[in-house]
Structure 1
Amino acid sequence: MVKFLPDMRRAWFFTVVATAFSLLSLHTSVQAQVIKAAYVELPPYTYTDASGSPQGSLVELLAKVAADAGYTYTAESAPARRLFQGVVDGQYDLFIGIKTPEAFQGTTLASKSVIANIELRAWGIGGTPAFKAKEDLAGKQVIVLTGYSYGGWRTYMDDPANGVQLIEARTPEQALQLLTAGRAPLLLQYALPMARALKAQPAPDVQSTLISSLDCHFVVSLKRPDSAALVAKLDASYEKLKAAGALP
């Protein structure tokens, strides 16, 4: 028995090593099946309810598509600027929203599927704002929501050469209050959040004009090793569920 002991030890050692690698591989595989998603507070699309849980039409859509594709997910709310940087850095795997922020160029992959369409409108008091292009903002005072890129228009507004005077609000409700108080003649805001704000704070004289329709996608960080495969699976599951009538 003694002369076989070294062989038994070697066999035991290799068994332990093989088991460790197997467990590590399994752990890595399980980790890869979890999507760390992030969203901005943009009800009714994405928002956090009173209990602290993520809600909204796009969160529900992500839940269905991710499950069909074989993934589970976590979802965390973050201010827009921190969220964008978090996606770029790999803190978050996925953003549910527009793919146009400057920070996302060359750092993310977006689904081919358009999962929602959001209207961006210009709002004013007493009449429909005369507004056709971002250049019409030059030299004007404009109320905006802090951190929003407005489909890439924020870059134009932030350029001092264009003379746009920005008044920032933290919520749609605050933005509406600033507009009705006369702090600026123009407010840029998405249609459904503004409709909710107007329902809570009726303002009959507020009128709007459509600026653009922004497409929403699953936007995946390139820091995630399987980013291309993840986008492909989400696209396939979205199209499958859409064709089956399981999605709005």
Structure 2
Amino acid sequence: MRSCQRYSTDLPRGACALTGLFVVLVGLFYTALVHADDQDPYSMKAVRVAYVEFPPITYRTAEGEPAGEFVEITKKVAAEAGYELEFIYLPVARTYLYLRDGTVDLWLGLSATPVLKEAVLESWISPIPVELSAWYRQDTEPLEHMDQLHGSMVILIGGYTYGGLRDWLEDQPDIRITEAPNHRSAVDMLKRKRGDYLLDYRQPVREILTHPSDAIIRESEVRSRNSAWMFSLASSRASILREAFDDAYLRLAERGEVPPVRRFEKTFVLPRFPEQYR
């Protein structure tokens, strides 16, 4: 093996050592640069998106593909912002867990969800309004104020927190709670008189009221809420992603490619709705 010492007359020993040191430093710098690029949030373009069964806003098709109005808007926004999406279909409870531990980067969800207060960063943009309703049979009194729920049986969807309202309902000694696994089952339970009222969101329930026997179902609005992108604070990219998505939506709205920008206005609530959950 040749060495620098053999050619000492052509290259001084000190210069040889400096040359070797320079090569080592260049290698270290390149390795650090590559590693930094891997960790740079701006270069990480894949985004893991949780979505739940909430038709027609978000749902999974028979082919296993994500679909719905919010899904389509999110695809447009991500493309405009330069991100690639990986959709993950989850139950609601698992979605909350994955947001807390950073398994997913964001959820196509609802703003002001109490159990996620310390776990997510909400978008400033709200693409779609969402209404919570009380559903009942035509032989039942319309729900005109929350006090009417006392002494009744209320059907809830498993895993839903209803913006914290579930906690209030469960704390009431004279309100009985029963659960349904999904929207269709909940409506069927209501028709079979296994509950007096069903608390569920307007869009998914109206989507499934297609059976002739569903004609006996009526609706009273309980409160309105705002959809939002919920970015996991367990991810170092949370604020970067929120800014990118909000800015992309504004550009698309200016071009008329998504619905106009909505302001987070004061939402409607039924009289006597619990103050702490408004």
Question: What amino acid does structure 2 have at the position aligned with 1:247?
Answer: V
CA contact (8 A) 1:123 1:129 kept: no
Flag as ranges the 4+ runs of structure 1 deviating above 4 A: none
For residue 45 of structure 2, the aligned residue among 16, 33, 36 is: 33
Is 1:174 the counterpart of 2:185? The answer is yes
* 3-state SS in 1 of match to 2:215: coil
Number of matched pairs? 247
* 3-state SS in 2 of match to 1:62: helix
Is 1:78 the counterpart of 2:90? The answer is yes
CA contact (8 A) 2:46 2:85 kept: yes
State the shift of 1:27 in Å. Answer: 1.7
CA contact (8 A) 1:120 1:212 kept: yes
Return the alpha-carbon distance in structure 1 between the equivalents of residues 16 and 174 of structure 2.
Answer: 83
Return the alpha-carbon distance in structure 2 between the equivalents of residues 20 and 111 of structure 1.
Answer: 36
Is 1:112 the counterpart of 2:132? The answer is no
What is the 5 A alignment of 1:149-228? 149-159=161-171, 161-200=172-211, 202-228=213-239
CA contact (8 A) 1:129 1:186 kept: no
Is 1:42 the counterpart of 2:42? The answer is no
CA contact (8 A) 2:142 2:219 kept: no
Query: Structure 2 regions of 5+ residues with no counterpart?
Result: 6-12, 260-278
Over 3 Å counting, the alpha-carbon distance change for 1:32 and 1:127 in structure 2 is: farther
Q: Which residue of 1 aligns with 2:68?
A: 56
Return the alpha-carbon distance in structure 2 between the equivalents of residues 85 and 133 of structure 1.
Answer: 33
Q: Which residue of 1 aligns with 2:150?
A: 138
RMSD: 2.0
Question: What amino acid does structure 2 have at the position aligned with 1:223?
Answer: A
CA contact (8 A) 1:134 1:156 kept: no
Return the alpha-carbon distance in structure 2 between the equivalents of residues 166 and 46 of structure 1.
Answer: 26
Over 3 Å counting, the alpha-carbon distance change for 1:128 and 1:16 in structure 2 is: farther
